[in-house]
A and B are shown apart, each in its own frame.
Chain A
């Protein structure tokens, strides 16, 4: 009797588990097909030479990676992405922090500023890229500059500053980096402001009582309290800026020269330009590992800082 009971109990338990599992089934299915399978396939393909169409794939071991190590354009693109990231880390995040500090008080228009600073992040990279490309246009018609920036520079007498902003290798990348920062600083601003607002106001009072001035309060109270948020912003900035590419496509297109190439545009042109799918995957794996190492390093640093 008791035997039958436990048996039916365990059957009902299995049934129960199955019903419960059916709740996660759609998510697990979609995730396995569209994330996990490509995740393993990218490693698989990176070891092969494949043109994307033929059923014939040649296993070539690590040859793609060997080639990649000597691929000068690949490492140039990496350097370019690092440059954009560096500008984003310094210029963009300093701006975000300055704005957050300025907004962290009761004042008029606070809400207006908050809403406006987050408009560029809401726009797509295509829209942003095309608008700025138009403003930075270096064309001339009837003796007049087409692009607004050159027009204004000319108007206020800075003729020597008039420039082929996006076709000169020296300035194209810098323009992309600045526009990228313009588009991105709103994220940092909102997160840093939220962080600032969680700081207990009594700490500021205490610092004031102790006779600390503005700068001392900033370095001794604000910065230490903000380190966790700052680290999150820094890491998101790095991951976002290293992988930027739609902005590059919309601002300069996939040019014939390589001065604005970034890793993802290289992956894209290996795939769609030269039909080397295996090589494109090797690039992806290589780049992904670098990004994981960087974020892991920051994780370690942030844990150390939290302990201290």
Chain B
């Protein structure tokens, strides 16, 4: 055995590092585990049984939350909002970014910097005039009103991201497509969009996260229970069933599981997107 001093200290160091990292990792996961655990309990045992694995496990809460707690409806609404907003953002922002990058028209720079400036200016409380506007337009308490507002929220960042991507697109490809008889719209659809797939992936993920988790506009713009997405529904549910913890935890699980699974499936893109953002920013 010739273990030198260096190896001993490095083994020691790496163990300490792993203990540190593991502690934080457990702190990240434990609250989620606790949520799931409590969702599997009954109203009688949840207050008294504090063991990690409950003695009596029952899945009935999920069914009850889904049906009686209206979480099935909230869930469906969230899916509708998230998909339509994300599709909207991708289409609208890629068309605009394509034009900003590849086409010419008067006022191009003005409009582009308008979008960039919007990202720089924090506007807390903008929901007050937005609420007034939506009332005037008769879009309060409508799906389309909420969807349009949320498309606007994700627009600037997506345009900026896609424009930097389209700027790098080789002109040869565009020329080749033009020779093949593609118009501007054809180039956008057949050349630009497929090439921008990595950027679109980042846009899809981040906007899905933000729409799925959005609360305040949903709270102000949607009054009908039948129109509410999950986050808003959770708040309403908590207000009326505040002591029914297992059911609330089941509701939280229904809200958390889809987004965590999407994240786990797509995490490579998220980390890539954030990393490039950090370096560019």
Residues of chain A at the chain B interface (Cβ within 8 Å): 17-21, 23-24, 26-28, 30-31, 33-39, 41-42, 44-45, 52, 95, 98-99, 102-103, 107-109, 112-120, 122-128, 130-132, 134-135, 141-142, 144, 146, 148, 151, 182, 186-187, 190-195, 197-198, 229, 232-233, 239, 243, 245-246, 249-250, 263-264, 267-268, 271-272, 277, 280-281, 283-285, 287-288, 291-292, 295
- Proximity string of chain B (21-51) to chain A, C-beta cutoff 8 Å, 1 when within and 0 when not: 1001101110110110010000000011010
Q: In the bound complex, do residue A131 and residue B35 qualify as a contact, i.e. CB atoms below 8 Å apart? A: yes
User: Which A residues lie within 8 Å of B248 (CB)?
Assistant: 130, 134
> Does residue B20 face the partner (Cβ distance < 8 Å to A)?
yes
Say whether B61 faces chain A, with CB atoms less than 8 Å apart.
Answer: no
A280 x B279 contact (CB < 8 A) = no
Given contacts A98-B20, A195-B279, 5 further A-B contacts (CB under 8 A): A20-B99, A34-B148, A95-B24, A245-B216, A281-B129
B132 within 8 A of A: yes
Residues of B within 8 A of A39 (CB): 123, 126, 129
* Nearest Cβ on chain B to A283's Cβ, whole angstroms: 6
Query: A34-B149, A118-B267, A249-B235 given as contacts; is B126 within 8 A of A284 (CB)?
Result: yes
Report yes or no: A284 in contact with B128, Cβ–Cβ below 8 A: yes
Chain A: minimal CB distance from B179 (Å): 19
B residues near A, CB below 8 A?
Answer: 14, 17-18, 20-21, 24-25, 27-29, 31-32, 34-35, 38, 47-48, 50, 91-93, 95-96, 98-100, 103-106, 111, 114-115, 118, 120-133, 148-149, 151-152, 155-156, 159, 184, 188, 209, 212-213, 215-216, 220, 231, 234-235, 238, 245, 248-249, 252, 255-256, 259-260, 263-264, 267, 270-271, 274-279, 281
**Is the Cβ of B238 less than 8 Å from the Cβ of A107?**
no
User: Which of B28, B115, B220 gathers most chain A CB within 10 Å?
Assistant: B28
Q: Which residue of B lies closest to A50 (CB)?
A: B132
Q: B215 near A246 (CB under 8 angstroms)?
A: yes
Chain A residues whose CB sits within 8 angstroms of the CB of B50 once the complex forms: 144, 148, 151
Q: Are B98 and A267 in contact, CB atoms less than 8 angstroms apart?
A: no
Closest residue of chain B to A95 (Cβ to Cβ) is B24
Which of A33, A141, A283 gathers most chain B CB within 10 Å? A33
Contact A20 B274, beta carbon cutoff 8 Å: no
Please determine whether B124 and A264 come into contact, CB atoms closer than 8 angstroms.
yes
- With A123-B259, A124-B215, A292-B121 in contact, is A117–B152 under 8 Å at CB? no
Closest chain A CB from B107 CB (angstroms): 8
**Distance from A10 Cβ to chain B, minimum over Cβ atoms (Å):** 13
Interface SS of chain A: helix
CB pair B279 A229 closer than 8 Å: yes
Q: Please state if B34 and A131 are interface contacts (CB–CB under 8 Å).
A: yes
Q: Pull 16 A–B residue pairs with CB atoms less than 8 Å apart, ordered by A.
A: A20-B105, A23-B103, A27-B115, A52-B132, A117-B25, A119-B263, A122-B209, A125-B213, A126-B215, A141-B47, A148-B34, A190-B274, A194-B279, A229-B278, A229-B279, A245-B216
Asked if B270 contacts A42 (CB within 8 A), the reply is no
Give every chain B residue within 8 A of A245 (Cβ-Cβ).
Answer: 216
